[in-house]
Amino acid sequence: MEHYYQPEIETASRETLTRIQNDRLVKTVKRVYENVPLYRQRMDEAGVRPEDVKGIEDLRKLPFTQKQDLRDTYPYGMFAVPMDDVVRLHASSGTTGKQIVVGYTQKDLDMWGECVARMLSAIGAEKKDKLHVAYGFGLFTGGFGLYEGARRMGCTSIPVSSGNTARQLTIMQDFESDILACTPSYAMYLGESAEKAGIDTKALPLRAGIFGAEPWTEEMRKGIEKSLNIKAYDIYGLTEIMGPGVSFECSCQAGMHVNEDHFIIEILDPETHEPLPDGQKGEIVFTCLDKEAFPLIRFRTKDIGTVTHEKCACGRTFVRMSKPMGRTDDMLIIRGVNVFPSQIETVLLQTGQSPNYQIIVDRVGALDTLEVQVELSEEQFSDRVSDISRVERDLTERLKSLLGIAAKVTLVSPGTVPRSEGKAKRVVDKRRF
Ligand code: ADP
Ligand code: ZN
């Protein structure tokens, strides 16, 4: 039996969803036009009046927003309510440049909790479950976002926050955590550390995990499911739009359902901005339908992904988006070729290598160089040198045929690639442009 948090909305007909979206979009556009100078100016420049937007079919008349707009109006220029009504601030983790700040009203926090509670229900969480939150609590949205959802659902939250791995494992055992939430790279690390500490994860109550905030592959999912002996689910979100819970995986683990009564997703050709059909890769663009404090319209996420309107076996009618396949600004251009770190990661994991790697890009003379440092496993470490060079050659060949350019693969001793307890830093680009 599939669990829903709000079945009437999660399984609503397309007509109902469209009606909700139309209503909410009209109100939000009017509100931002009246309250946020940037929108008024952009809409005036584009010759669009709020009354020209009668529903979602008029969405494409509206101008885009992007991260730079948030930086230009930093800190509070894009808030659509008086500061008096703002009850919480968060800031982006700053993975890509200067941080930005966002705000929430009481109602925004309720809505956020609702979105995350839908995700918790979808993976079979119940009130009696204990949610171990190892996302950071702070300006980063991860910790508090999951916490809001647990509170809404009535689960017991354990706000451990990030870091201190030994303590995480002790709490997981002593407090009997049922569900774990953290970044996928940290989940891998927790799995490894549990093994090292001789903890039998099969004997723990832990049965599911909610992992997001950074790209991860199906191979990583299998690795985490095995080492922690759990089911691993994906959750997507971004600070600008809300935080975790913009979209979430259901029990089918086949794409993430977008909370469409709160957010509209568009997949656009990054160059022409034309909408792309189901299944075709493009830039993900979101519009907030009912956020009060910080409602972004047509925000270009720079994430690349696809959507499908196909019916999901879980019964939810919300569209599903793919796992983002990297960001347009994550994409490395090496000797003119587009390379996504996730492509390299997939090869490593498919060939049974460790997920601990770092990509180093440099420039020698006029030529870009690509090096991939991969940690050896303990077993490989004790192998003969000739075996190690065979693995290096094999990986070099596979990467060459996948990427179309040569990469130097270096296997390094276990434990030497910097581990992250938050977001993984996979790429070091030493080139000067
Ligand atoms: P920053 O942009 O500073 O990293 P955020 O914490 O808001 O700040 O990160 C949001 C970004 O994280 C998304 O735009 C996306 O690129 C990435 N992300 C979030 N969830 C996932 C996920 N489940 N899979 C892949 N990438 C994700
Ligand atoms: Zn589903």
Q: How far apart are CA 363 and CA 368, in angstroms?
A: 4
388 and 260 in a single domain? The answer is no
Residue 89 lies in a domain: yes
The secondary structure of 24-82, three-state, reads HHHHHHHHHHHHCHHHHHHHHHHCCCHHHCCCHHHHHHCCCECHHHHHHCCCCCCCCCC
118 and 18 in a single domain? The answer is yes
Q: How many CB atoms lie within 10 A of CB 350?
A: 12
Exposed/middle/buried for 76, CB within 10 Å: 0-12, 13-18, 19+? middle
253 and 393 in a single domain? The answer is no
Parent domain of 353: 333-429
Ligand nearest the Cα atom of residue 216: 1
pLDDT at 1: 79
Q: Which residue has the tokens 């060079």?
A: 389
The atom number, within ligand 1, closest to the CA of 99 reads: 3
380 and 421 in a single domain? The answer is yes
Residue 1 lies in a domain: no
Determine how β-strand 208-212 pairs with β-strand 231-238: parallel
311 and 394 in a single domain? The answer is no
pLDDT at 137: 94
Q: How far is CA 296 from the centre of its chain?
A: 18
Helices (H), 239-340: none
Quick one: which H or E segment has residue 299? strand 299-305
Q: How far apart are CA 282 and CA 324, in angstroms?
A: 10
pLDDT at 343: 83
Q: Is the CB of 247 under 6 A from ligand 1?
A: no
C-beta of residue 143 within 8 angstroms of C-beta of residue 161? yes
Residue 141 lies in a domain: yes
Determine how β-strand 282-288 pairs with β-strand 299-305: antiparallel
The atom number, within ligand 1, closest to the CA of 301 reads: 14
Nearest to 53 by CA among 250, 321, 264: 264
Residue 211 lies in a domain: yes
Residue 122 lies in a domain: yes
Q: Is the CB of 42 under 6 A from ligand 1?
A: no
DSSP state of 428: E
Ligand nearest the Cα atom of residue 233: 1
Last residue of a domain, one of 328, 357, 374: 328
CA of 184 to the centre of ligand 1 (A): 12
Q: Is the CB of 301 under 6 A from ligand 1?
A: yes
C-beta of residue 320 within 8 angstroms of C-beta of residue 307? yes
Q: Is the CB of 358 under 6 A from ligand 1?
A: no
pLDDT at 121: 98
Residue 2 lies in a domain: no
- Total-model pTM: 0.84
Residue 398 lies in a domain: yes
- The residue ranges of the chain whose pLDDT is under 50 are none
Last residue of a domain, one of 328, 358, 393: 328
Q: How many CB atoms lie within 10 A of CB 294?
A: 26
CA of 253 to the centre of ligand 2 (A): 7
CA of 230 to the centre of ligand 2 (A): 19
pLDDT at 8: 98
Give me the residues paired with residue 337 across strands. Answer: 334
Give me the CATH number covering residue 394. Answer: 3.30.300.30
Q: Is the CB of 91 under 6 A from ligand 1?
A: no
Q: Is the CB of 170 under 6 A from ligand 1?
A: no
303 and 369 in a single domain? The answer is no
DSSP state of 83: G
264 and 404 in a single domain? The answer is no
Does the bond joining 37 to the residue before it have cis omega, within 30 degrees of 0?
Answer: no
Residue 278 lies in a domain: yes
Among 236, 328, 420, the mutation site with the greatest number of ligand 1 atoms within 8 A of its Cβ is: 236
Q: What is the distance between the terminal CA atoms of the chain, rounded to a whole angstrom?
A: 55
Ligand nearest the Cα atom of residue 138: 1
Q: How far apart are CA 131 and CA 281, in angstroms?
A: 34
Helices 14-35, 37-46: crossing angle, 10 deg rounding = 110
Q: How far is CA 305 from the centre of its chain?
A: 11
The atom number, within ligand 1, closest to the CA of 423 reads: 4
Phi, psi of 65 (to 5 degrees): -125, 155
377 and 400 in a single domain? The answer is yes
pLDDT at 376: 87
230 and 291 in a single domain? The answer is yes
pLDDT at 419: 65
| Closest Cα to atom 27 of ligand 1 | 214
C-beta of residue 80 within 8 angstroms of C-beta of residue 35? yes
CA of 292 to the centre of ligand 2 (A): 28
DSSP string for residues in 317-372: -S-EEPPP--BTTT-EEETTEEE-HHHHHHHHHHTT--S-EEEEEEEETTEEEEEE
Nearest to 36 by CA among 26, 28, 48, 25: 28
Give me the CATH number covering residue 242. Answer: 3.40.50.12780
CA of 307 to the centre of ligand 2 (A): 13
CA of 124 to the centre of ligand 2 (A): 13
| Closest Cα to atom 24 of ligand 1 | 215
220 and 246 in a single domain? The answer is yes
128 and 224 in a single domain? The answer is yes
C-beta of residue 289 within 8 angstroms of C-beta of residue 279? no
pLDDT at 255: 98
349 and 270 in a single domain? The answer is no
Instruction: Domain count for the chain, please give it.
Output: 2
| Angle at the Cα of 364 from the Cα atoms of 363 and 365, rounded to 5 degrees | 110
The atom number, within ligand 1, closest to the CA of 94 reads: 3
Tokens encoding 389: 């060079």
- Work out whether the CA dihedral 34, 40, 44, 48 comes out positive or negative: negative
Determine how β-strand 130-133 pairs with β-strand 208-212: unpaired
Q: How many CB atoms lie within 10 A of CB 280?
A: 11
Q: Is the CB of 67 under 6 A from ligand 1?
A: no
The atom number, within ligand 1, closest to the CA of 326 reads: 16
Q: How far apart are CA 206 and CA 172, in angstroms?
A: 8
Last residue of a domain, one of 274, 293, 328: 328
pLDDT at 15: 98
Rg over CA atoms, the chain? 22
Nearest to 287 by CA among 104, 24, 89: 24
